[in-house]
């Protein structure tokens, strides 16, 4: 006696596999401007850029007329795809402030942040010292004689 195909008692909705996500979610890819093959990591604190003039928008590729309209509608425009962030490069061995431009969810453009960009960050004035830092620490940080703070002599 030969057996024919067996019928299953499972309902049809169990036969189709569940939809799986397209693999592991990818982290943002940030690479050191000095060492393009080296991935760098940030501390997560982002200082978003604020634009106040049509000229700043035109420098980012917007037409003059559209830039005028945007600034009239939004006197302070916060860019959600550009910010300053302190990043650490293991190959350089140091942390530096970088200007990051988000191209898509994973790919970002990274370059060293020029001092002028801090003028476009709200609530941060690079010329005014941090009030929580003591005068002694501030003076010691500006030492120009080349000695370390605690010189062993």
| pLDDT tens by residue, 85-103 | 999 999 988 888 999 999 9
pTM: 0.63
- Domain that residue 101 falls in: 26-139
Higher-pLDDT residue of 116, 98 = 98
**How many angstroms separate the CA atoms of 54 and 76, rounded?**
11
152 confidence band (pLDDT: 50, 70, 90): very low
* Within-domain flag for 10: no
Structural domain total, the chain: 1
| Structure token digits, residue 100 | 């990051």
Q: pLDDT digits over 20-65, tens only?
A: 555 566 778 899 999 999 999 887 788 998 888 888 889 888 999 9
* Within-domain flag for 73: yes
* Within-domain flag for 11: no
* Within-domain flag for 68: yes
- Position 149 scores a pLDDT of 47
* Within-domain flag for 50: yes
Average pLDDT, the chain: 78
Question: Which run of H or of E encompasses 110?
Answer: strand 108-112
* Within-domain flag for 57: yes
138 confidence band (pLDDT: 50, 70, 90): confident
Lowest mean pLDDT among 36-45, 63-72, 82-91, 115-124: 115-124
- Position 151 scores a pLDDT of 45
Exposure class string for 9-36: b at 16+ Cβ within 10 A, else e? eeeeeeeeeeeeeeeeeeeeebbbbeee
């Amino acid at each position: 006696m030969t057996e024919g195909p067996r019928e299953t008692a499972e309902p049809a909705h169990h036969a189709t596999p569940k939809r799986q996500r397209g693999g592991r979610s990818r982290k943002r890819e940030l690479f050191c401007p000095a060492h393009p093959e080296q991935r760098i990591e940030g501390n997560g604190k982002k200082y978003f850029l604020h634009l106040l003039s049509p000229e700043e928008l035109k420098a980012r590729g917007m037409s003059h007329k559209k830039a005028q309209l945007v600034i009239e509608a939004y006197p302070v425009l916060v860019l959600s795809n550009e910010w300053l962030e302190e990043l650490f490069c293991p190959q350089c061995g140091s942390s530096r402030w970088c200007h990051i431009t988000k191209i898509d969810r994973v790919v970002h453009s990274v370059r060293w942040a020029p001092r002028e960009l801090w003028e476009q960050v709200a609530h941060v004035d690079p010329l005014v010292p941090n009030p929580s830092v003591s005068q002694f620490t501030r003076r010691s940080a500006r030492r120009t004689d080349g000695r370390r703070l605690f010189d062993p002599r």
